[in-house]
Amino acid sequence: MLLEDLKRVRSDREGACPAVERLAQAQNVDRILSESPSIEELEDLLHGGQLSCNHVDEVWPNLFLGDMYMSHDRYGLWRLGITHVLNAAHGKMCCKGRDDFYGTTVKYYGVPANDLPTFDISSFFYPSAHYIHDAFSTTGVFVHCAVGVSRSAALVLAYLMIYCNYSLVDAILKVKERRWIFPNRGFLKQLISLNNELNYKVQSK
């Protein structure tokens, strides 16, 4: 996917993603595609493109990423067909969350993550990905934290990598088509480790 974007940049600079264009100019693309990207390269990629986000955005079919405001809007979630909620800021300030808030029509899963580079969110990558995947047997899934940019975004990226066979770079590009995200540096480092782990499994087959 990134390679296709770079070809598009070379043929038509107008409207190209600034981050992708910088990568092309640096002639660093082959290494990024074949090896593990650095945190700085991922941040360059995250800085470009769409710089705004709504209370909720559909970043993958039936997978919605948003903020705490939308998590309190039961009617809005019902209109979107949401049957499962994943709160990546469970127990934190305005995102405390609880099963009984949504009643019997919505299933709730809370991840008590702190938006700090030192927090180990990787321990929730697989459980959250399994929860999202299992939820698709019904209808929509809403993943949120306080702002819908760091904690929840990291879990959505992990899902795309684990279940949809996306690389970390491709997962970022996919989500950025619909929403601005920016996981903190610690989360990016843990996502890079997941990317390396999944690549190793593929190469070992």
* Mean pLDDT computed over 84-100: 77
Sign of CA dihedral 104, 92, 90, 153: positive
* Mean pLDDT computed over 43-68: 90
Please tell me the pTM assigned to this model.
Answer: 0.82
> pLDDT, tens digit, for every residue of 104-122?
888 999 999 999 999 999 9
pLDDT band at 136 (very low <50, low <70, confident <90, very high): confident
Task: Check: CB of residue 36 under 8 Å from CB of residue 150.
Answer: no
> pLDDT, tens digit, for every residue of 18-31?
554 455 444 444 44
Domain ranges of the chain: 1-49, 56-160
Calpha distance 96→11 (Å, rounded): 49
Q: Is the pLDDT of residue 73 over 80?
A: yes
DSSP string, 24-62: HHTT-HHHHHHSPPPHHHHHHHHHSS-----SEEEEETT
> pLDDT, tens digit, for every residue of 156-195?
999 999 999 999 999 999 999 999 999 999 999 999 999 9
**Phi, psi for residue 50 in degrees, rounded to 5:** -60, 125
Calpha distance 110→50 (Å, rounded): 28
Question: Could you give the residue numbers annotated as active site?
Answer: 145
pLDDT at residue number 162: 98
Largest Cα span, the chain: 54
CATH number of 56-160: 3.90.190.10
Question: Between β-strands 63-66 and 56-60, what pairing exists: parallel, antiparallel or unpaired?
Answer: antiparallel
